[in-house]
A and B are shown apart, each in its own frame.
Chain A
Amino acid sequence: MLPPPIAIRVATEWLSARARWQPLEVAFWLVAFAAIWLFPDRHLILTEIAWLGLFALSLDLILGYAGIISLGHAAFFGLGAYTAALLAKYEIVNEPVLALLVAGLAAMALGFVTSFLVLRGSDLTRLMVTLGVALVLRELANRYGWLTGGADGLQGVSIKPVLGMFRFDMFGHTGYAYCLIVLFVLFLIARRLVNSPFGLSLMSVKGNPLRSSAIGISVDARLVAIYTVAAGYAGVAGALLAQTTSFASLEVFSFDRSADLLLVLIIGGAGYLYGGLIGAIIFKFMQDYLSALTPQYWPFWIGLVLVVIVLVGRDRISSWTAPIRRVTAHLNWRALMRRLTVSVRERRSP
């Protein structure tokens, strides 16, 4: 056993090594931001990728880090979308960024309340409860048609310029830059979160809830916390959709959306934050290609992809990025171990 001060130092160094930015990550974000200038004609689909990526990131937080299977994540997405659209339509909050915050907070509130429903029960119960929450919200939105526009969707929404300066255009130029910046900021927060001791404790909860509580982790509190945060992320993603399209419809709550989201995350791989973003890129381009090929039947190919992924083995497929990650992680590990041994030796020598 190491003496306590050294143990703490080792732990801190380990945590900060985990949190260190790797060259690939930097490159990823550089390319993403460069796309603002490089691909001006693809900004519409890039906008969709940005909010879908954020939505998948939110699912990753609860599925990849806390192990909660949800079939109703669209509930928070939809709430965020309707909140943002309604705020803009009735000119309650005119500034998009502020409206985004309000939408996120509304979704967080819903997430906090419903998080207590997913604490208990088996995977099946969780599935049913999350699905049920999304269905209930959908029914509510349908029921209060005078407010939400019912089955026709909420029309006549006009979004004011971002920060009063940048007007949304029909080519998605502003939309992409706006979504990307929001995504990046929220990603930084999520990254900080999962690399903190809190994030580590979440992963231990995912691994074995019983043992985690035995070593003093309050399992329920962690799950409530991460579920609430993830709900807020989903709400912001929904709000981004509503703001960039000036529209919200019942479809935001649909089961297909929650199911597609699972696919997005699984393509990219859960549990390392980038899975959702990479999955969103692949999914959107695949959807673009397939629906141009067979407009009506493209769900068939989505289904086929899901079936094949499971039959081949999810870990085998989603680990296609693993070799790259392993190489970079390996480099850092060696540097870290060298420095650790040096620092421990220094401590012991006098």
Chain B
Amino acid sequence: MLTILFDGIAYGMLLFVLASGLSVTLGLMNFINLAHGSFAMAGAYVTVFLVNRLGFPFFISLPMAFLASAAIGFLFERTLYVHVYKKPHLDQVLFTIGLVFMSVAAADYVMGSSQVFVQVPDYLQGQFEVSGIGIGRYRLLIIVLCGLLTIALQFILAKTRFGSRLRAAVDDSRVARGLGINVNWVFSLTFAFGSGLAGLGGALGAEILGLDPTFPLKFMIYFLIVVTVGGTSSITGPFVASLLLGIGDVAGKYYVPTLGSFVIYTIMIVVLIWRPQGLFARAASR
């Protein structure tokens, strides 16, 4: 029972790191980015390539995954995404679906269509017991790392100058522009950082979630659930939503495996009908 809770928390934390970038993108530019999972996949494949093929240590490959995804994200944002912000939502959806299809086929072409795993070092495998709770070492690592990242994110958002600029831009980008904040630049950096986080999450999660070229399609709905249910106005909302989703999904699959993800999707629909702005959103100001 507690083991499930533990696994659920690890899963939820992972989802949060994967999806946190998306929540900022959506909140800041009101931009529907369905291709977020593609950046996560890029990070995961970078790790797989570095560790399995070139024999890099696992812990060095993680920051590399972050940097690689952030770089790709930055490049795409500057060259392609900027043209689509002002377009209607239908265009954004079409555009990002197109990117997803392309990334899926490209990953298939470069890395092959079979599922791959990262060779995690031996000392991270297996599990130990603390007062009857089975704790997987790797999952513990995920919780610790993602926990630290969450605290760091919260700190950046709440205490730094960049964080306050970002919050100002999310709250009202027009006024923020008027105050001399370069919103486009803030957005580019945030987009790159969010993509990097997604890449890191993908690298960490490749072991648990399973990595194959359809990754962006399979987990798209999960990222979107985190963001829409959690709301886009803070990172606490998505954080709580990810934990709930992670625990709910793991518990659901353990106790009622036949129902599959049915429960999750139904709850999502109910929540969205009940609170279209998300569970934890402030009253919409716009």
Contact = CB atoms under 8 A, between A and B. Distances in A.
Nearest to B225: A128
B64 interface: no
A286 B92 CA distance: 23
B272 interface: yes
B61 interface: no
B187 interface: no
A125 interface: yes
Q: How large is the interface on A (under 10, 10 to 19, 20 to 34, 35 or more residues)?
A: 35 or more
B97 A262 contact: yes
Contact of A303 (B102, B258, B259): B102
Contacts of B101: 259, 299-300, 302-303, 306
B93 A69 contact: yes
Given A128-B272, A299-B101, A135 B261 contact: yes
Interface residues on B, range: 35 or more
A263 interface: yes
A308 to B, nearest CB: 8
Given A69-B89, A120-B273, A297-B105, A314 B265 contact: no
B157 interface: no
A136 B217 contact: no
A350 interface: no
Chain A interface mostly: helix
B80 A127 contact: no
A131 B83 CA distance: 26
A307 B93 contact: no
Contacts of A306: 94-95, 97-98, 101
Interface stretch (B106-114, B164-172, B195-203, B238-246): B106-114
A117 interface: yes
Given A128-B224, A314-B94, A136 B265 contact: yes
Nearest to A119: B273
Contacts of B221: 131-132, 135
A307 B95 contact: yes
Given A131-B221, A310-B84, A300 B102 contact: yes
Interface in A300-317: 300, 302-307, 309-311, 314
A63 B100 CA distance: 22
A256 B95 CA distance: 14
A71 interface: yes
A181 to B, nearest CB: 32
B176 interface: no
B237 to A, nearest CB: 15
A305 B273 contact: no
B164 to A, nearest CB: 26
Contacts of A298: 105
B90 interface: yes
Contacts, number: 130
A266 interface: yes
A298 B104 CA distance: 10
A307 B102 contact: yes
B105 A135 contact: no
A303 B273 contact: no
B124 interface: no
Given A139-B259, A307-B102, A123 B89 contact: yes
A105 B196 CA distance: 48
A309 B100 contact: no
A124 interface: yes
A208 to B, nearest CB: 14
A158 interface: no
A120 B94 contact: no
A135 B32 CA distance: 19
Given A129-B273, A310-B87, A139 B99 contact: no
A230 interface: no
Contacts of A192: none
Given A117-B269, A139-B265, A307 B98 contact: yes
A135 B273 CA distance: 16
Given A303-B102, A307-B102, A139 B261 contact: yes
B181 interface: no
A140 to B, nearest CB: 7
A128 B91 contact: no
B269 A124 contact: no
Interface string A132-145: 11011001101100
Contact of B266 (A121, A131, A136): A136
Contacts of B104: 299-300, 303
9 contacts: A69-B93, A124-B89, A128-B228, A132-B265, A132-B266, A139-B265, A143-B258, A305-B98, A307-B95
Interface of B: 26, 32, 80, 83-84, 87, 89-95, 97-106, 108-109, 113, 217, 220-221, 224-225, 228, 258-262, 265-266, 268-269, 272-273, 276
User: Sorted from nearest, which 10 A-B pairs have the closest CB atoms?
Assistant: A306-B98, A303-B101, A300-B105, A303-B102, A121-B276, A123-B89, A307-B98, A310-B95, A139-B262, A303-B98
